[in-house]
């Protein structure tokens, strides 16, 4: 099979397209022929090996798994002898455990891993990106922020993968949503249901007179110190971008005051919890409450271009690699 391989950390040029052996599923695994896989901001960080502490999980000097890629969507081509929930021909989507291996034509996934059947009303490209924006944002809004109807939620980075999903999820939970984005993305953010949009090139949300119950900083471009001025008395600043500043703020707010700074590593939640989130997301998609926004599709051979595009920090929604024609 064709696969992307990286034997060291670095720029997008570290990737090589190689012909390698197609994997054989173990007794408890399914072999998925991949139709699309995601390229996320987290993937680009893993390519660079940053932050450095992340290498404790993915490889200290080089990637433990040389094949990159996290989210995927495709069709089951073979099943192990102990598999009971999937059959050959099933359309599925999911995410690789430990975040690697899906930028290839095939991947083996444990039956009880992060894999469920694909909604019939979305494409493989859309399905491949579900485990980035929707999965992460559902964890942050539902679990971390415990979002409630009527609350005011501000989403910083509202036009990216996490942001476009967060707008729709917050509206699903009946919150009042403010999205922060650039001028070019104002109409997109409005179209997804945001009640109010702030163009960050024209206005600084941290100087607003409005107070928010939740500030979801999807891109980590603000901070608790800046955002606390516009939080309600019991408000929370939540972000998936962990750094030393946020870590110290989390420690401090856990001891002092009612306003909180919070972080969660969605990818290392227990597998049953992640699967439950996926089932919930699939139900929303099937009912028309949630859609995955795909900005650009690249071929497998164009992975360096795809990573460079994500690296520039201005993608709208999601970027995917399409391996096969949709069926």
pLDDT at 199 over 50: yes
User: Which two structure tokens, joined as six digits, stand for 65?
Assistant: 């798994």
pLDDT at 220 over 60: yes
User: Which two structure tokens, joined as six digits, stand for 274?
Assistant: 């992640």
Residue-wise pLDDT for 231-253, tens only, equals 999 999 999 999 899 999 999 99
- Confidence (pTM): 0.94
Residue-wise pLDDT for 102-112, tens only, equals 999 999 999 99
Q: 145 with 115, same domain?
A: no
R_g of the chain computed on alpha carbons: 19
Q: Note whether residue 281 is domain-resident.
A: no
Residues 97 and 110: beta-carbon distance below 8 Å: yes
Any idea what the CATH number is for the domain that residue 305 is in? Answer: 3.90.180.10
Q: 123 with 140, same domain?
A: no
Indicate the number of domains in the chain: 2
Q: 92 with 8, same domain?
A: yes
Q: 219 with 163, same domain?
A: yes
Cis bond before residue 269 (omega within 30° of 0): no
Q: 137 with 262, same domain?
A: yes
Any idea what the CATH number is for the domain that residue 137 is in? Answer: 3.40.50.720
pLDDT at 171 over 80: yes
Q: 69 with 139, same domain?
A: no
Of 20, 13, 14, whose CA–CA distance to 101 is shortest? Answer: 20
Q: 67 with 146, same domain?
A: no
The parent domain of residue 240 ranges over 133-267
Q: 95 with 162, same domain?
A: no
Q: 123 with 138, same domain?
A: no
């Amino acid at each position: 099979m064709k696969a992307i391989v990286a034997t060291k950390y670095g720029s997008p040029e570290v990737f090589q397209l190689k012909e390698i052996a197609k994997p054989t599923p173990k007794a408890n695994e399914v072999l998925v022929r991949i139709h699309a896989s995601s390229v996320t901001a987290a993937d680009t960080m893993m390519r660079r090996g940053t932050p450095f502490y992340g290498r404790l999980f993915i490889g200290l000097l080089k990637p433990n798994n040389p094949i990159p890629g996290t989210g995927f969507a495709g069709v089951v081509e073979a099943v192990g002898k102990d598999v009971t929930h999937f059959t050959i021909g099933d359309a599925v989507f999911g995410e690789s455990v430990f975040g690697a291996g899906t930028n290839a034509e095939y991947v083996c996934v444990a039956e009880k891993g992060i894999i469920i059947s694909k909604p019939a009303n979305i494409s493989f490209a859309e399905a491949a990106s579900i485990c980035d924006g929707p999965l992460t944002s559902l964890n942050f809004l539902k679990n971390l922020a415990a979002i409630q109807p009527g609350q005011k939620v501000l989403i910083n980075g509202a036009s990216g993968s996490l942001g476009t999903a967060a707008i729709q999820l917050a509206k699903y939970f009946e919150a009042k949503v403010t999205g922060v984005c650039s001028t070019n993305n104002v109409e997109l953010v409005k179209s997804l249901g945001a009640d109010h949009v702030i163009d960050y090139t024209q206005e600084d949300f941290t100087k607003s007179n409005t107070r928010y119950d939740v500030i979801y900083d999807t891109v980590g471009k603000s901070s608790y110190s800046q955002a606390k001025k516009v939080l309600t008395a019991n408000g929370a600043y939540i972000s998936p971008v962990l750094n030393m500043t946020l870590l110290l703020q989390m420690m401090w707010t856990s001891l002092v005051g009612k306003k909180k700074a919070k972080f969660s590593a969605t990818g290392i939640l227990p597998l049953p919890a992640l699967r439950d989130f996926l089932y919930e997301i699939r139900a929303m998609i099937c009912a028309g409450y949630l859609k995955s926004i795909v900005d650009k599709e690249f071929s497998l051979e164009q992975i360096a271009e795809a990573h460079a595009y994500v690296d520039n920090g201005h993608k709208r929604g999601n970027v995917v690699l399409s391996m096969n024609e949709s069926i």
